[in-house]
Amino acid sequence: MMINIKEMTMVKPAEETPRHALWLSNLDLMTTSVHITNVYLYRNNGAANFFETSLLKDALSKVLVPFYPLAGRFRHNNAGRLEINCNSEGVLFVVAETCSIIDDFGDFAPTTELRRLTPAIDKSGGISSFPILAVQVTYFKCGAVSLGFSHQHRSADGTAAIYFVNSWSEVTRGIDLLHPPIIDRTLLRARDPPQPVYDHIEYKPVPTMKNPKQTIKSKSSDQESPIVRVFHVTRDQVNMLKASSKENGNGVKYSSFEILASHIWKCACKARSLPDDQLTKLFTLVNGRAKLCPPLPPNFFGNVLFASSTIVTVGDLISKPTGYGATKIRQTLVQMDNNYLKSAIDYLELQPSLIHGPGRGAEVFRNPNFGIVAWIGLPMYDADFGWGRPFYMGPAGLSFDGKAYILPTADNDGSFLVAIALQFEHMRVFEKLLYQVCVGKCAL
């Protein structure tokens, strides 16, 4: 696919905004140091001003007034801690066009091709040189439009990023923001002195391969780029998984996330042919906004994602019903109450190597471990800029072997999209196992 860049400009806040250093929390610093890429796709509704760039840029400049940290730049303070310099340097706005049609992307798998619909970030000048947020509007030959975002994860989590995009869309439609963002991250400051009371295995080193030969093979595979696939899981299939968990007298009602995450994790371990005595760690994320006491409001703008980890042996996960893994996942999530989350913040305060490092990456998901990011319940499809809702929204890149996304569909009918990255030989087996729930009696 050929993409022609037509324009690159910096959009700055429409009004003077506060100039100061924004302190970043331990949760901000624990996230990956890369820009996260997401893409929204829109069908042409026939309007003469369909995604007119002047309207988008004007609204962007207005919404950057309350969201002004996004127009700033990163820097290190005198103590070496990363912070945002709120200097209004602006958000990169890119206008592009292509002779391709939107349907050329098929299932919109988050591959390097889809990533080209998001702005490339030049980081050669250091952390204070590149924008925290960049936006790319790409016009397709068929009339469709994509809206691609690259935002530095340490500035905001997915909930906050979606809140920003939805706010931008409302301003474009002429709607005033009822709830401006709360940007004060000191609400997530550690206690003085820190008082961690839990072990916090989520921040401990992940299990390694027990078989030395498999370890060598795994490291060799890591040198290769995993392949990415997107699978559609219907509501009926999710219900089949839930029904299968009730065998042997299990009366627990699992959430769609718990049962689907367990099934995906189980299939991945099978596909990787891991031995029964191998430990495997599932990495997930928990939104702490409603769990903290007092709770943080939905318009809190920052990172409030807490890592959660569930560790089991492969033999138990594979040999037992899917409800076993779902129960283990639930036990992990239930313990993450206010006390646990505040303990986690304090624990990180005592781990400078974690919060001042490059952030965690491939090692979290590498064989024999796995990671799942769920966007269930997020208002992903509310970004209507005046020309209709997106027909697709999702990640534009997925490069870590052993990482998956669970995404709701635009229809909101209880079905999900599972985007996953695995090594080629593992993916061939995984895609067969994933849909075994549909064949005959579910023996999962």
Contact 190, 184 (CB under 8 A): no
Tell me what percent of the residues of the chain surpass a pLDDT of 70. Answer: 94
Contact 416, 238 (CB under 8 A): yes
3-state secondary structure of 436: helix
Is the whole-model pTM more than 0.75? yes
pLDDT given for residue 212 in this prediction: 55
Average pLDDT over every residue of 81-97: 98
pLDDT tens-place string over residues 207-229: 999 875 554 455 555 557 899 99
pLDDT given for residue 250 in this prediction: 79
pLDDT confidence of 68, banded at 50, 70, 90? very high
Q: What residues contact residue 194 under an 8 Å CB cut-off, 6+ apart?
A: 346, 347, 349, 350
Q: Assess whether 222 carries a catalytic annotation.
A: no
Q: Which of 203-207, 247-251, 437-441 has the lowest mean pLDDT?
A: 437-441
Q: Is the pLDDT of residue 292 over 90?
A: yes
Task: Please tell me which residue in 58, 337, 382, 384 is annotated as part of the active site.
Answer: 384
Q: Is the pLDDT of residue 162 over 90?
A: yes
Q: Assess whether 384 carries a catalytic annotation.
A: yes
Q: Is the pLDDT of residue 137 over 70?
A: yes
Q: Which of 58-72, 214-228, 306-320, 428-442 has the lowest mean pLDDT?
A: 214-228
Task: Please tell me which residue in 28, 35, 151, 153 is annotated as part of the active site.
Answer: 153
pLDDT confidence of 358, banded at 50, 70, 90? low
Q: What residues contact residue 245 under an 8 Å CB cut-off, 6+ apart?
A: 252, 254, 259, 321, 322, 323, 326
* All structural domains of the chain: 3-188 (3.30.559.10), 207-438 (3.30.559.10)
Nearest to 190 by CA among 25, 73, 58, 307: 25
Q: Is the pLDDT of residue 444 over 50?
A: no
Mean pLDDT, the chain, rounded, equals 93
